[in-house]
């Protein structure tokens, strides 16, 4: 289930690397919830509507974004929290909230990024390696991560096939710094062939790693 937010114009410049501030706001709304201790079965977009000005972002006409959760009960809790504490950061304040019932995705196979998709794996030596749409392993890791989240939710789908649409000529990599760590993530559409309920699950929980800190939301 997806929550759409409308935000007021900012009153202070929004830094390009605002993701940490956004995560802090979302976690404030989630509150003391068991969702923090589990695999992230939620995702959220970046802010839409910004323009560059004086080495920062300005949302002169306000901003929009969405947050999606697999658990409908949590959605109700989050909406209540948003209405009680609509203040975000840099003067952005939630001015409108709407909820989308789960979309019908039977005939939809192609999905776009609402935030970059991060793929990472721990290697045998303990180091972390990041992968993107140009790596041969990327599609398999996308599938593995989604299946892992599905198992957490008690879902199965042996028909699942998921891959980056590398024919998209505007695909690119985005370097995102989070807590001082550089994450090289993919902005590239994804093709998902699966049961409708699997597509809907991915629609809500996102793709790849670290969806709980603002990666991998799709639309």
Task: Encode pLDDT of 125-160 as tens digits.
Answer: 999 999 999 999 999 999 999 999 999 999 999 999
Same domain, 63 and 29: yes
Q: Which tokens is 114 given?
A: 């609402």
Instruction: Please list the ranges in the chain whose pLDDT falls under 70.
Output: 33-38
pTM of the model: 0.93
Same domain, 18 and 52: yes
Q: If residue 28 lies in a helix (H) or strand (E), which one and from where to where?
A: helix 19-30
Pairing mode, strands 181-187 and 172-178? antiparallel
The parent domain of residue 151 ranges over 110-213
Question: Could you identify the residue written with the tokens 């990041």?
Answer: 130
CATH of the domain at 202: 3.30.70.1900
Question: Could you identify the residue written with the tokens 């697999």?
Answer: 70
Domain-located, residue 219: no
């Amino acid at each position: 289930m997806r929550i759409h937010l409308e935000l007021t114009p900012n009153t202070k410049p929004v830094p390009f690397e605002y993701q940490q501030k956004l995560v802090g706001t979302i976690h404030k709304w989630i509150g003391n919830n068991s969702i923090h201790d589990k695999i992230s079965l939620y995702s959220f977009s970046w802010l839409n509507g910004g323009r560059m000005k004086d080495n920062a972002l300005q949302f002169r006409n306000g901003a929009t974004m969405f947050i999606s959760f697999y658990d409908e009960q949590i959605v109700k809790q989050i909406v209540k929290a948003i209405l009680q504490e609509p203040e975000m950061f840099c003067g952005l304040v939630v001015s409108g909230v709407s909820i989308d019932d789960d979309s019908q995705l039977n005939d939809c196979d192609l999905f776009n990024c609402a935030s970059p998709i991060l793929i990472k794996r721990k290697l045998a030596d303990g180091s972390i390696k990041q992968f993107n749409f140009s790596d041969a392993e990327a599609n398999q890791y996308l599938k593995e991560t989604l299946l892992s989240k599905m198992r957490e939710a008690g879902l199965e789908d042996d028909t699942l096939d998921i891959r980056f649409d590398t024919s998209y000529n505007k695909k690119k990599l985005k370097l995102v710094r989070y807590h001082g760590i550089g994450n090289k993530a993919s902005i590239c559409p994804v093709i998902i062939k699966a049961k409708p309920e699997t597509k809907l699950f991915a629609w809500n929980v996102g793709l790849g790693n670290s969806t709980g800190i603002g990666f991998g939301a799709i639309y």
